[in-house]
Amino acid sequence: MCHIKRSFSFQKLLSINVSNPFRPTANHSISNGLGRHYNCSSRSLSSKMAPTRKWWQTATIYELYPSSFADSNGDGVGDIPGIISRIPYLASIGINAVWLAACNKSSGVDMGYDVSDYRDIDSQYGTVNDMEKLIAELGKHHISLIMDMVVNHTSSEHAWFKESRSSTTNPKRNWYIWRKGITMRSPDGQLKRYPPNNWESIFKGSAWEYDERTDEYYLRMFAKQQPDLNWDCEELREAVFREMRFWLDKGVAGFRMDVINMISKPESLPDAPVSNDKSAVQKADDLVCNGPRVHEYIQKMRREVFDRYPDSVSIGEVICTGQVDRIRQYVEPDRRELDMVYTYDLFGLDCGPHGKFTRRPWVLSELKSNVTKWQLELFENAWQTIWLESHDSGRSVTRFGDGTQENREKVAKMLAMLTSTLQGTLFIYQGQEIGMANLSPEIPISEYPDVETQNTWNEMLRSRAESAGISEPEVDMSDALKEAHLKARDHARAPLPWTSEPPHSGFSTATGKTWSPMNTDSHVCNIAAQQQDPNSVLNFWRKRLQIRKKYPEALVYGSFEPVSSTMNDEPIFAYWRKPLPGVEKARGQENDGNRDVLVLLNLTANDGVEFELPISCEGKRERYFVLDSTAGMTEGLKVRESGLVSSMEKVKLEAYQGVVLGF
């Protein structure tokens, strides 16, 4: 999903920062080179210090994609017994919770995000008993299980929908969104039936599906087999809450709530404004997201479900929303809605106006300011997530790196250093811990199984052919191909390479193909090899998670302060993380503990990038030393035997090098 609002710019960041009531109190400021100043003293003691700290704040949550993790029975599809057999591996990474992507019984159109029975497990993954066993076995390693809960829509195979579609008078008719079509004269003078409004499905085409039996249309914002539930119906809401409690009663620690900001649609279902005058259907993001009653419904869910299970966690997926004020409404603790949400704001940076397979050129300052925006704006009285990959994204090493094999490990480690030094709850997506890259370009798009990829691709092909008056094979799709190689969801869904051995790199013993193409690079990227290599990406991640756990006051709860001289298009991104006032701070190389740290990241493949260390935020000249680095010492520190370097001296960073400094 990539129809992201970009209501944000670097310029705006600066002005937000100046007027932000939570900004640090001024006692020292540095010019950012653009005529504005960042204040960079410590923030006042925030509610983060309040006694409401929760286990999930310091937790690292591992998103596990069941189809592609481990296949125990050789059918080419991952399954729950496969996961159970690999729990020691999960524990060894140092994670605290697994978010298991959709695994309920499903009609399999959108990889489980079309649920046909919330109380059952899809038979390709196992049974409810297997899930119970998984919860228990993970528990032995102190790992919680978070399930995916997909309740904006069900599958058209769900018993609720079957009843609903059976007649206009069925008691469950109102559980879905049904409307009569509009009959109008078409341009050729014929009377024709049209959908109730002009909304476009996120998976392309009209968002309405005609159902002959009752001569009405149902709304489906995703595939036609994914009818949207009608949350305005109280009976339906109660039914959903019961399904959620079913799993909490079995011991799941909480839910990741799929597209939860879509559950309330405006009652009159108005047409969306025309954004593409060549199309009969129009993007309806602003109407279907963050609708009129969404907060009322989530608050109700909180009271009826999560509040009854102390310590449970709720994580919302919020799409098409880059506005901080909107996001705050979901996560400010007093509003009693969700514990945290994740947005796609950062992932819109490289998406063009016509969706994810179109390009938007972007510059480094946008990436830096996007990260900074959320770090600053959700710091006070809110909680946030940190993530660079999920089952809906491309792989971060490919998307944010230079795509070369030479730099791949460096990029993976630098991104690990970035995410593990940000404020919030850290998410890792399966395979990210070994620096998996996107599928290699020789695998044709026709072999990508994702319904979104296929529909988006076919729709682009069709509309390009139509507007150019040529046949589909004549259409030039090279630009779209490039974007699909970066952003298709299929990249994240490739099975995990446990070894380099044929036929399927230890993922499966299937004699035929795996359900989704394996990547062709398991000889250079697999778990077994990385287990043995002390300098592997995997072992780097392990270390990062240990450090994060050891110094939560600085790395999880501490303040984030960008070094303003790096908020530009230059390679270095530098920021401070500092324990809040009141926390005892360690000083000096010999001392252990939470301390102010300066993170320096070279976001580019340029070698030998020079950077003048800033004087400390207190305005003091300090002597820095290296606490952690993705690749040995930096030039500048290397030359000094003591490993110390003074502020205002220069250090040199290698391509994609990351360093954490302290004093």
Residues that bind ligand GLC (CB under 6 A): 1, 110, 113, 150, 222, 258-259, 317, 391-392
Q: Residue 71: which of ligand GLC, Ca ion, none does it interact with, CB under 5 to 8 A by kind?
A: Ca ion
**Which residue's CB is nearer to ligand GLC, number 457 or number 560?**
457
Question: Least separation, in Å, of the C-beta of 317 and ligand GLC?
Answer: 6
- Give bridge partners of residue 646 from the DSSP assignment: 623
> CA–CA separation, 573 vs 565, rounded Å?
9
Q: How many CB atoms lie within 10 A of CB 31?
A: 11
CB of 256 to ligand GLC, least distance (A): 9
200, 258, 392, 409: the active-site residue: 258
Minimum distance from residue 433 beta carbon to ligand GLC (Å): 20
Shortest CB 637 distance to Ca ion, Å = 50
Instruction: Pick one of Ca ion, ligand GLC, none as the site partner of residue 79 (Cβ within 5 to 8 A by kind).
Output: Ca ion
Q: What is the DSSP letter of 199?
A: B
What is the closest distance, in whole angstroms, from the C-beta atom of residue 635 to Ca ion in the complex?
A: 50
CA distances to 438, 442, 491 from 517, rounded to whole Å, are 11, 11, 9
1 binds, among ligand GLC, Ca ion, none (CB under 5 to 8 A by kind): ligand GLC
Contact 315, 254 (CB under 8 A): yes
* Sign of the alpha-carbon torsion through 169, 170, 171, 174: negative
User: Is the Cβ of residue 509 or residue 591 nearer to Ca ion in the bound state?
Assistant: 509
The least distance separating ligand GLC from the CB of residue 112, rounded to whole angstroms, comes to 8
77 binds, among ligand GLC, Ca ion, none (CB under 5 to 8 A by kind): Ca ion
| Cα-based distances in Å from 300 to 242, 325, 338 | 13, 21, 11
Least distance from C-beta 107 to ligand GLC, angstroms?
A: 13
If contact means CB under 5 to 8 A according to the sort of partner, which of ligand GLC, Ca ion, none does residue 392 touch? ligand GLC
Q: Give me the residue whose beta carbon is nearest to ligand GLC.
A: 113
Quick one: which of 650, 645, 638 has its CA closest to 623? 645
Detail the DSSP E strand segments found in 407-493: 425-429
The answer to whether 569 is a known catalytic residue is no
Residue 222 binding target from ligand GLC, Ca ion, none, CB below 5 to 8 Å by type: ligand GLC
First to last CA, the chain: 43
> Torsion-angle region of residue 593: left (phi > 0), alpha (psi -120 to 50) or beta?
left
Which residue minimizes CB distance to Ca ion?
A: 79
d(CA 334, CA 494): 40
Distance, in Å, from the CA atom of 495 to the CA atom of 515, rounded to the nearest integer, reads: 9
The partner in contact with residue 300, picked from Ca ion, ligand GLC, none with C-beta cut-offs of 5 to 8 angstroms by kind, is none
Which one, 150 or 601, has the nearer CB to ligand GLC? 150
Contact status, residue 87 vs residue 109, Cβ threshold 8 Å = no
Q: Which of the choices ligand GLC, Ca ion, none does residue 160 contact, using the CB cut-off of 5 to 8 A by kind?
A: none
- Under 8 Å between Cβ of 628 and 547: yes
- How far apart, in whole angstroms, are the C-alpha atoms of residue 64 and residue 67? 9
* Neighbour order of strands in the sheet with 313-317: 340-342, 313-317, 254-257, 144-149, 97-100, 60-64, 425-429, 385-386
Tell me the C-alpha to C-alpha distance, in Å, between residue 653 and each of 416, 632, 634. Answer: 17, 10, 6
Tokens read off for 190: 């014929």
**Which of 285, 317, 452, 553 is labelled catalytic?**
317
| Least distance between ligand GLC and beta carbon 427 (Å) | 13
Closer CB to Ca ion, 126 or 322, in the complex: 126
Contact indicator for 483, 356 with CB cutoff of 8 Å: yes
List of residues contacting Ca ion (CB under 5 A): 71, 73, 75, 77, 79
317 belongs to the catalytic site: yes
Task: Pick the closer one to ligand GLC by CB: 222 or 427.
Answer: 222
Query: In the complex with ligand GLC, which residue's Cβ is closer, 388 or 601?
Result: 388
Taking the least distance from each CB to Ca ion, the nearer of 69 and 203 is 69
Give the residue numbers annotated as catalytic, written as ranges: 258, 317
